[in-house]
Structure 1
Amino acid sequence: MSWLFGYGRGNQQPQQPDLSQFGIPSQQGGGAGGAGDPNDPNLSKAEKKVMEAYRFDSSALERAAQAAKELEKSKNAKEALELSKLQEVTRQHEYQSKIKEYEAHIAQMQVEQKKTEGEEKRKYLQEETRQHQSRAQYQDQLSRKRYEDQLAQQQRQNEDNLKKQEESVAKQEAMRKATIEHEMDLRHKNEMKRVEAELKAKAKVDRENRDLTLEQIRLKASEHRITIMEGIKTAGTVIGQGAQAMLTDWNKVATAAAGFSLLALGVYTAKGATGVSARYIEARLGKPSLVRETSRFSFLEALKHPFDTLKQMRAKQSDALSGIILAPQLEERLRDIAIATKNTKHNKGLYRNILMHGPPGTGKTMFAKKLAKHSNMDYAILTGGDIAPMGRDGVTAVHKVFDWANSTHKGLILFIDEADAFLRKRSSENISEDLRATLNAFLYRTGEQSGKFMMVLASNTPEQFDWAVNDRLDEMVEFDIPAIAERERLIRLYFDKFVLQPASEGIRRLKVDNFDYSALCSKMAKITDGMSGREIAKLGVAWQAAAYASDTGILTEKMVLDRCYDAIKQHKQKVEWQSEQERREAKSIYHSEKEDSYIPILEGDGKAK
């Protein structure tokens, strides 16, 4: 084991260090007072420090050598050597592992560096793209500004030209008018001169022929008087002879009386038959004057509109809620009503009367038409506003409507819109006697349920109905303003109907710009809170009008939103008007009630207190 300590076997002494480079003479051996002794007083401080650096404890080497000898003599020397080799191999493996870790760390750093470079490159490309887009947008804005300036300049030039043309036309018109007035003045003067000359000539002739004219007038008067007297004598003679002959012959008197009686009977019978026939023809072939719209077949309407009549006859049954978007609970309830009505028609049962109330434009009339088509029935639409102004003729008109409804063989849905206009309360409302009589006639004809027609009332203020009217209603359905989900479905429906379908079919020149329709419809559904289905349908027509009004015929996202914001603004204005009207009505009712409740208290002298 002597290799562990750097010297061979035996009792060899360690070599002394070479101190000649420090100016110290080297000496073999070396006792306490030799040249290599650091305690030598002749050495300087620096030389002593150098000596201290090269001095070592030889006893430790001796002890190590002694231990090595004992270890060689030991029987475990081989195992110790193997153990030291294994330790050395382990240290080598650890060193290799650290090298590999270091290499992996370097590779990871290179990957991170490449990722960083790629991210920087991507950011650079994005920034470059953004700069290109900004530059393109700026150039587009400049071109649009130049185009708008050109249009404004062209418009100003056109206005100037139009103004000059109008001034020129006005001058020419003034000149023409002055010329015409001058010509008329001259013509009038000439005419007056001519008339004056003619009158003077006629007056002169009349003065000269005055005696002859008077003689002619006398002759004509004498002849006329003689003719009248002869006619009177002849008529008196004929009538007297006839009366004498009739009075002397009683058979002629009886014959004349019978003839006059038969003539009166024939006139009365013809008049009655004509009235009955007219009422029958009106009930079967025509429609009452109160009915605004109907799908029932009419011979007169078929002659007026043959193609529409043929189209209605070929129309097939459809779903009662097709094209109608309502709340899910309301749709379920209306579907049940449609199924019940269809089965009632099929089983020839008695129809139920329905009241549909709610704000205007929520789909009441549309559902009534769809219900009639779904049930294979006819529909007739009339409005209460037409009945109220009829006065005493309202009773006859109401009876005609119900007679016409009872004459149907297919079944009829009688839809009365704005029914509160003439079905008001009789106790608390100041209604006229004619309107009261009309209401009583309506109550008389609807006292029992019918198997011929189904009555559907629609009103925005159902609280104004008379109690007897409410008693005749079997079911009441409330139509409310659509919520956000229904508004989005309505907007998508009308956007597809009024914009996408015409654009895909190539109708006229309607085109649609490239934008996200779905996101736009969702956005509009959120901002159109409070709008009815009719207002949203009108919004679809406004989109079409915006595209037709543009120069290119292309409907852009900005145009769609602008029309939507305009509709929202108009809706808010209508709501404000309605609120002001309700406040005024409430105020007038308050004052009227206050005046009615005033009771004067009389003092002793009879004056009101």
Structure 2
Amino acid sequence: MDLWREGHQIGSGMKVDEESWDVASHAKEALSLAQLQEQTLQLEQQAKVKEYEAAVEQLKNEQIRVQAEERRKTLSEETRQHQARAQYQDQLARQRYDDQLKQQQLVNEENLRKQEESVQKQEAMRRATVEREMELRHKSEILRVEAEARARAQAERENADIIREQIRLTAAEQRQTILESIRTAGALFGEGFRAFVTDWDKVTATVAGLTLLAVGVYSAKNATAVAGRFIEARLGKPSLVRETSRITVLEALRHPVQVSRRLLSRPQDALEGVVLSPSLEARVRDIAIATRNTKRNQSLYRNILMYGPPGTGKTLFAKKLALHSGMDYAIMTGGDVAPMGREGVTAMHKVFDWASTSRRGLLLFVDEADAFLRKRATEKISEDLRATLNAFLHRTGQHSSKFMLVLASNQPEQFDWAINDRIDEMVCFDLPQQEERERLVRLYFDKHVLKPATEGKQRLRLAQFDYGKKCSEIARLTEGMSGREIAQLAVAWQAMAYASEDGVLTEAMMDTRVQDTVQQHRQKMRWLQAEGPQGGQRLPS
């Protein structure tokens, strides 16, 4: 038992020693662990200090940003207040200036009114003075005239016998002088006539001289008439021709520069500025080419009839055809022939004589030809007009290499049959369709609106909108209108811009003008349909 105790104590002592060793080793580990924990705590403390310092620095930065933002807001508010104060002061200054101007204007008006009143008073005083002076002068003049009349009457009454005696003596002396002059002249004339009759040489010379004088006067008169007709045919323009491109001597002397440009100008395209349907364009281009080759080869020209509604480009194409072919053109109107009466035949011959003298060839365009080329069998045509028509038929019976005849009419069915026999080709100019109308709208819009607005030479500006889309829309709305009506519409746009305050043509202004033009066109068509066949117009198809 004791042995076991001793053994147990020894074992316990050894265990205690082992435990003490373990405790010592664990203490070291704990100490190192504590040191590590202390270092960790110090590091954490340092990290917290740094975080605190960073937080403090961030707080300072935030305070600085807030202060800067506050200063910015303060400066912005001060600036806004300063601007508001400046605007208010400017408004006050403007108001004071306006008040001063109004006050000055009122003062000026008051001064002007006072001056006008003063001038009116002075004018009234001057007028009254002048009237008074005139009245006094008139009274004094009347008194003077009455005094002179009384004195003259008194003198005449006192000298009546003397005056009658003087008149009697003057009349007797004048009568005696006239009688003596008659006697002397009779004696001289009788002696001269007796001497002239008795001398046969003088009689023969006198008769021969009188005969030669009469022959000279008659010859000079006829020669002057022939020379005048020659000069008129060669140089002058006949009275029936309204417009011509043929250059006369008088025009060359008046406008030498323009005449030189015309002589040096090149032939133009026959369809330049002319908008037609594709089929009609191809046909008239063939006519232009044939006419130009006819001019070059000096062959016989063909006569053409162009018919259709008014304003479809007949006259324009005739001018272009002449310029393209290198010819001169002359335009006459059928309505000018009938009023000439008996002079119509002579005037018609003068036109063709003048046309035959053209060296370049002449395109004679007769507009409204149905006005005098009507059927001769009808009773509506007068004898003078029938004679003029016969003269026209006589001069156009054969094709000519000097001139080309182009007729234009809205009623070709009224032509005399002999006129139809002289026509080589008939061309129908119908109203433009939508495609042609769009080309016409674009052409005249560019000519009358867009080009003047972009050049800046005129008081015309154009608002911003889709021009192409607007032209297409207008072409759709102007159905049934001729080229002339579309050109007039473009001119109306230009006039509306000139009439506006700022000179700007807007899309709304164009739409308003288009609506008015469409309504006017419909009204014209209603009038034309109301007239019917008696209206003298061909209804457009």
For residues 94-140 of structure 1, give each alpha carbon's deviation from its aligned partner in whole angstroms, at most 9, with x where no partner exists.
Answer: xxxxxxxxxxxxxxxxxxxxxxxxxxxxxxxxxxxxxxxxxxxxxxx
Does the 8 Å CA contact 1:286/1:301 hold for their aligned counterparts? no
- Going from structure 1 to structure 2, the CA distance change for 1:198 and 1:473 (only over 3 Å counts) comes to farther
When Rg is computed on C-alpha atoms for both structures, the one with the higher figure is: 1
Structure 1 counterpart of 2:530, one-letter code: E
Does the 8 Å CA contact 1:357/1:462 hold for their aligned counterparts? yes
In structure 1, the partner of 2:360 is 410
In structure 2, the partner of 1:573 is 523
Using the TM superposition, name which of 534-543 and 203-212 deviates more: 203-212
For 1:92-171, what aligned pairs fall within 5 Å after superposition?
none
| Alignment of 1:391 onto 2:341 | yes
Structure 2 counterpart of 1:419, one-letter code: A
For residues 238-270 of structure 1, give each alpha carbon's deviation from its aligned partner in whole angstroms, at most 9, with x where no partner exists.
Answer: 222222222222111111111111111111111
Equivalent residue in structure 2 for 1:229, among 179, 191, 209: 179
Cα displacement (A) at 1:186: 5.1
Corresponding residue SS for 2:252: helix
* Distance (whole Å) between structure 2 residues aligned to residue 261 and residue 421 of structure 1: 51
Cα displacement (A) at 1:572: 1.7
In structure 2, the partner of 1:469 is 419
Identity of aligned residues (%): 61
Corresponding residue SS for 2:262: helix
In structure 2, the partner of 1:492 is 442
| Alignment of 1:547 onto 2:497 | yes
| Alignment of 1:366 onto 2:316 | yes
For residues 78-107 of structure 1, give each alpha carbon's deviation from its aligned partner in whole angstroms, at most 9, with x where no partner exists.
Answer: xxxxxxxxxxxxxxxxxxxxxxxxxxxxxx
Corresponding residue SS for 1:292: strand
Cα displacement (A) at 1:400: 0.7
Equivalent residue in structure 2 for 1:220, among 162, 170, 186: 170
Corresponding residue SS for 1:427: coil
Cα displacement (A) at 1:283: 1.4
- Going from structure 1 to structure 2, the CA distance change for 1:258 and 1:583 (only over 3 Å counts) comes to closer
| Alignment of 1:446 onto 2:400 | no
Corresponding residue SS for 1:457: strand
Does the 8 Å CA contact 2:528/2:535 hold for their aligned counterparts? no
Equivalent residue in structure 2 for 1:337, among 287, 291, 314: 287
- Going from structure 1 to structure 2, the CA distance change for 1:208 and 1:458 (only over 3 Å counts) comes to farther
For 1:419-430, what aligned pairs fall within 5 Å after superposition?
419-430=369-380
Cα displacement (A) at 1:215: 2.3
C-alpha RMSD over aligned residues: 2.6
Structure 1 counterpart of 2:434, one-letter code: I
In structure 1, the partner of 2:3 is none
**RCO comparison, higher one (Cα < 8 Å, 6+):** 2
For 1:140-539, what aligned pairs fall within 5 Å after superposition?
183=131, 190=139, 198-539=148-489
Cα displacement (A) at 1:195: 5.3
* Aligned residue pair count: 414
For residues 193-247 of structure 1, give each alpha carbon's deviation from its aligned partner in whole angstroms, at most 9, with x where no partner exists.
Answer: 6655554444333323322322232232222222222222222222222222222
Normalising by structure 2, we get a TM-score of 0.72
Does the 8 Å CA contact 2:270/2:323 hold for their aligned counterparts? yes
* Distance (whole Å) between structure 2 residues aligned to residue 373 and residue 576 of structure 1: 38
Structure 1 counterpart of 2:307, one-letter code: H
Does the 8 Å CA contact 1:546/1:559 hold for their aligned counterparts? yes
- Going from structure 1 to structure 2, the CA distance change for 1:414 and 1:192 (only over 3 Å counts) comes to farther
* Distance (whole Å) between structure 1 residues aligned to residue 415 and residue 326 of structure 2: 30
Corresponding residue SS for 1:226: helix
* Distance (whole Å) between structure 1 residues aligned to residue 149 and residue 511 of structure 2: 79
Normalising by structure 1, we get a TM-score of 0.64
For residues 303-342 of structure 1, give each alpha carbon's deviation from its aligned partner in whole angstroms, at most 9, with x where no partner exists.
Answer: 2333432332232101101000011111111111111111
* Distance (whole Å) between structure 2 residues aligned to residue 308 and residue 449 of structure 1: 33
Corresponding residue SS for 2:475: helix
- Going from structure 1 to structure 2, the CA distance change for 1:361 and 1:201 (only over 3 Å counts) comes to farther
* Distance (whole Å) between structure 2 residues aligned to residue 467 and residue 218 of structure 1: 86
Does the 8 Å CA contact 2:448/2:490 hold for their aligned counterparts? yes
In structure 2, the partner of 1:53 is none
* Distance (whole Å) between structure 2 residues aligned to residue 399 and residue 200 of structure 1: 76
For residues 148-188 of structure 1, give each alpha carbon's deviation from its aligned partner in whole angstroms, at most 9, with x where no partner exists.
Answer: xxxxxxxxxxxxx9xxx9xx99xx9xx99xx79x9599599
Structure 2 counterpart of 1:410, one-letter code: R
Cα displacement (A) at 1:585: 4.9
* Distance (whole Å) between structure 1 residues aligned to residue 534 and residue 327 of structure 2: 44
